[in-house]
Amino acid sequence: MSIYDEIGGDAAVNAAVDIFYKKVLADPLLTPFFDSVDMSGQSRKQKAFFTTIFKGDTAGADTYMRNAHKSLVEDKGLSDAHFAAVAGHLNATLNELDVPAHLTDQIMGAAASLKDAVLNRSPAEKIAVNQ
């Protein structure tokens, strides 16, 4: 059974994205990244992305995340601190929704695995940042 099925399908994904973006948009560290974003469209994209990932289809996720965030890295300075804040809001959202710990761990692991793509980093840059 996929994470998607275990958490409750579309209803759970929709609730998670709605709660997640309330948290993100209330965070002064993150609000500058959403100044000119159509949040209705953004929420639809996030729901579709979560649904795809939670169903286990991760093919192309790195490329998608790299392309989706490249301008934020280059133009707005998206960084490790921002990624950590978003991850924290995702974790808090999953906890608020009483997602079982083993599923939260899987979801947070999947999010962490996309960090270099989101921050538009190559593996060599990752090594340099972690030293």
Predicted pLDDT of residue 57: 87
5-63 pLDDT tens trace: 999 999 999 999 999 999 999 999 999 999 999 999 999 999 999 999 999 888 899 99
User: In this predicted structure, what is the pLDDT of residue 82?
Assistant: 98
> Predicted confidence band at 122 (pLDDT cuts at 50, 70, 90)?
confident
Task: Report the pLDDT value the prediction gives residue 128, as an integer from 0 to 100.
Answer: 53
pLDDT greater than 80 at residue 125: no
pLDDT in tens, 75-106: 999 999 999 999 999 999 999 999 999 999 99
Return the pLDDT at 126: 52
pLDDT of residue 37: 94
The domains of the chain are located at 3-130
123 confidence band (pLDDT: 50, 70, 90): low
Architecture of domain 3-130: Orthogonal Bundle (1.10)
Three-state secondary structure of the chain: CCHHHHHCHHHHHHHHHHHHHHHHHCCCCCHHHHCCCCHHHHHHHHHHHHHHHHCCCCCCHHHHHHHHHHHHHHHHCCCHHHHHHHHHHHHHHHHHCCCCHHHHHHHHHHHHHCHHHHCCCCHHHHHHHHC
